């Protein structure tokens, strides 16, 4: 397959590391002009330099906290024309259910849901006016299989699935597609820390990962953490012209974690 995004501009939020940076790299390799986003200048500059060297593509950076209205406005002012919007920004962390405060609930909703919604409202009109565009919201298996240790996180990702489906209806018949990607347990720096919180620091990483999957994610059919590049490949496909008939979908890259035969 030729996944050609030449001439397209792609904005990936929260893309200075982890899944976001892998997505940015894959989109750049497909020919897109990629906008890297993060909250601090050193991290954004470092990611831009790394991605330019790694991919040889056109990569630029925007420093802004898109979890705030002001940050979203700043990104829109710097990059008014976006063809591919990847809402990757998200936070997660374990917390006892009865200890999740009102502020925690609000924070998870604002960062994981409202940030994506603002940017969709910002860029969808331009996409529909041009007759082409892609919106991709990075969700999680936790949207469907709510983890007991992260109810607030699961709630936010469930809401994100609804946001994606709803905006896909708003874009019906325009040539713009809106989809969510259900990412399974993925090997990132943040997840390594999360794994260590649950299984301890004593075991070597390979053993710690295996124990985490057995005890806390036994539904996984691949029985390992997913690599960020595996998520990125699906995002790039969905961003490409080849995925023009896929919209309003929650596409799984979850290693078979969600126990369902329906995608």
Which positions are catalytic?
Answer: 153
Task: Return the C-alpha torsion angle 208, 210, 213, 216, nearest 10.
Answer: -40
Structure tokens at 242: 């080849």
Are 162 and 104 contacting, i.e. CB atoms less than 8 angstroms apart? no
C-alpha–C-alpha distance, residues 154 and 89, integer Å: 15
List all residues 6 or more positions away from 158 whose beta carbon is below 8 Å from its beta carbon. 143, 144, 146
C-alpha–C-alpha distance, residues 42 and 52, integer Å: 15
Task: Find, among 29, 155, 170, 179, the residue nearest to 91 by Cα.
Answer: 155
C-alpha–C-alpha distance, residues 248 and 135, integer Å: 10
Question: Packing angle between helix 151-170 and helix 115-130, nearest 10 degrees?
Answer: 20
The upper half-sphere exposure of residue 133, i.e. CA atoms within 13 Å in the direction of its Cβ, equals 27
| Cβ neighbourhood burial of 105 (10 Å; 0-12, 13-18, 19+) | middle
Instruction: Report CA-CA distances (Å) from 93 to 76, 147, 151, 226.
Output: 29, 11, 10, 18
According to DSSP, residue 241 is labeled G
> Helix, strand or coil for residue 16?
coil
């Amino acid at each position: 397959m030729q996944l050609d995004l030449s001439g397209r501009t792609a904005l990936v939020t929260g893309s200075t590391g982890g899944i976001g940076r892998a997505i940015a790299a894959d989109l750049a390799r497909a020919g897109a002009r990629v906008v890297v986003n993060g909250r601090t200048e050193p991290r954004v500059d470092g990611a831009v330099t790394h991605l330019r060297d790694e991919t040889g593509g056109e990569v630029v950076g925007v420093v802004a906290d898109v979890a705030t209205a002001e940050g979203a406005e700043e990104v829109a002012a710097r990059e008014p024309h976006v063809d591919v919007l990847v809402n990757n920004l998200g936070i997660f962390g374990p917390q006892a259910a009865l200890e999740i405060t009102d502020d925690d609930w609000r924070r998870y909703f604002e960062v994981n849901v409202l940030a994506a919604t603002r940017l969709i409202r910002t860029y969808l009109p331009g996409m529909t006016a041009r007759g082409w565009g892609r919106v991709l919201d990075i969700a999680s298996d936790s949207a469907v299989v709510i983890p007991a240790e992260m109810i607030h996180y699961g709630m936010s990702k469930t809401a994100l699935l609804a946001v994606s489906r709803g905006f896909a209806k708003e874009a019906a018949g325009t040539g713009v597609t809106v989809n969510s990607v259900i990412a399974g347990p993925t090997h990132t720096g943040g997840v390594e820390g999360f794994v260590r919180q649950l299984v301890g620091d004593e075991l070597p990483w390979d053993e710690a990962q295996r124990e985490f999957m057995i005890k806390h994610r036994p539904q996984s059919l691949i029985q390992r953490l997913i690599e960020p590049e595996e998520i990125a490949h699906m995002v790039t496909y969905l961003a490409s012209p080849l995925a023009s008939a896929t919209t309003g979908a929650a596409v799984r890259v979850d290693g078979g974690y969600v126990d369902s035969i329906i995608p």
